[in-house]
């Protein structure tokens, strides 16, 4: 555990060792946190939309009370967020400040500080899911936890994305007040996370192999991102590259383009685009059709060809409507 603590500190995440927990993936931590009674004695969970689909599934399956707030290309509605914090019994706000799922949006430093100020003011905890933090090359995009001086943030990290999905191991950095309750609940679920996975991770970090792997992965990802930027800028109405950081992006289909026509042409070209349907509740109505783009497993050539194919379908749909 000491090895992991030192690694977190090197990455600007400072925590007492006794408040650092290893979990069987992020899902286990989310399950426990959703079930725990928090010191603020509140019950409702607030989540941003679109959001991590398994978090939504958890809340709906367990019938846990929750509210939602939209986070789009314009960010959060801060007045609405404050209203939620002030007028509802919000236990915690679940958010992905860096590279959100599935749109790839990041809060600015000002937004992170504003979020913390509101959380402190209205006694709301913040659950930070930093599942893609290892892919971020920019040194100025720091975790929300870095700015937390009042133990208001619960930081979650997965090691699956950067290493391999078979390593079902995550880390949870807790405020001191949640430590004992978390331990009790976790003990019910399992005595300890996989000792083999922990040992492998410890060795990987201690020998420097993990940091080398992150460095190599970031270089590869930069080439993917550049391919996306070079091709995406040809249709700025489809891709707002000012919002793009790494790994994930999205398409908001302009309202003057028929969704059904666009999707029919995609099908004809055997192009599969996933919309945000699984990342929002079933009864949620989107103002615009939004499709997600993920670049993490593709080559630069595949990205260039794939984005070009989508752009061709878009242009074809526009021409069809203008005729």
Convert 121-134 to b/e letters by CB count within 10 Å (16 or more is b).
Answer: ebebbbbbbbbbbb
Task: Report pLDDT for 287.
Answer: 76
The angle subtended at Cα 147 by Cα 249 and Cα 164, nearest 5°, is: 45
Task: Report pLDDT for 107.
Answer: 97
Scanning the chain, the segments in alpha helix (DSSP H) are 2-10, 25-35, 53-61, 78-87, 109-122, 179-189, 195-206, 209-232, 259-268, 300-322
Structure tokens at 257: 């383009």
Q: Is 307 helix (H, G, I), strand (E, B) or coil?
A: helix
Domains of the chain: 1-207 (3.40.640.10), 211-320 (3.90.1150.10)
Q: Is the pTM of this model over 0.85?
A: yes
**Residue listed under structure tokens 């994305």:** 161
| Phi then psi dihedrals of residue 158, to 5 deg | -105, 140
* DSSP conformation class of 38: P
Of 12, 57, 20, nearest to 182 (Cα)? 20
Alpha-carbon gap, residue 19 to 92, rounded angstroms? 18
Series of mean pLDDT values for 10-residue runs along the chain (323 residues): 88 91 89 96 97 95 96 96 98 98 96 98 98 91 96 93 73 95 84 67 88 94 98 95 96 90 94 94 84 96 97 90 63
Alpha-carbon gap, residue 292 to 238, rounded angstroms? 12
Length, in residues, of the chain? 323
CA 201 to chain centre: 22
* DSSP conformation class of 154: E
Nearest-Å Rg of the Cα atoms of the chain is: 21
* DSSP conformation class of 123: T
Pairing of the two strands 125-129 and 90-95: parallel
Burial of residue 222 (CB within 10 Å: 0-12, 13-18, 19+) is middle
């Amino acid at each position: 555990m000491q090895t992991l603590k030192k690694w977190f500190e090197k990455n600007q995440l400072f925590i007492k060792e006794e408040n650092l927990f290893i979990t069987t993936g992020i899902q286990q931590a989310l399950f426990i946190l959703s079930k725990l009674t928090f010191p603020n004695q509140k019950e409702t969970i607030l989540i941003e939309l679109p959001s991590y689909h398994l978090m939504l599934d958890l809340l709906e399956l367990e019938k846990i009370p929750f509210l939602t707030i939209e986070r789009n290309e314009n960010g959060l509605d801060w007045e609405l967020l404050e209203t939620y914090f002030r007028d509802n019994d919000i236990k915690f706000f679940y958010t992905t400040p860096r590279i959100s799922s599935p749109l790839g949006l990041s809060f600015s430093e000002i937004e992170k500080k504003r979020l913390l100020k509101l959380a402190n003011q209205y006694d709301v905890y913040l659950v930070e899911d930093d599942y893609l933090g290892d892919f971020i090359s920019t040194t100025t995009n720091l975790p929300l936890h870095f700015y937390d001086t009042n133990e208001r943030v619960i930081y979650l990290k997965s090691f699956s994305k950067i290493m391999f999905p078979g390593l079902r191991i995550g880390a949870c950095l807790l405020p001191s007040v949640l430590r004992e309750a978390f331990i009790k609940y976790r003990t019910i679920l399992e005595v300890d996370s996989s000792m083999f996975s922990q040992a492998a991770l410890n060795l990987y970090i201690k020998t420097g192999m993990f940091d080398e792997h992150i460095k190599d992965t970031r270089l590869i990802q930069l080439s993917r991102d550049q391919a996306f930027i070079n091709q995406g800028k040809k249709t700025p109405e489809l891709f707002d590259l000012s919002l793009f950081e790494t790994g994930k992006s999205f398409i908001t289909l302009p309202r003057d383009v028929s969704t059904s026509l666009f999707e029919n042409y995609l099908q004809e070209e055997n192009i599969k685009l996933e919309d945000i349907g699984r990342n929002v509740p079933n009864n949620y109505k989107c103002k615009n059709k939004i499709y997600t783009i993920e670049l993490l497993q593709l080559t630069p050539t595949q990205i260039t060809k794939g984005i070009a194919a989508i752009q061709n379908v878009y242009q074809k749909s526009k021409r069809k409507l203008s005729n």
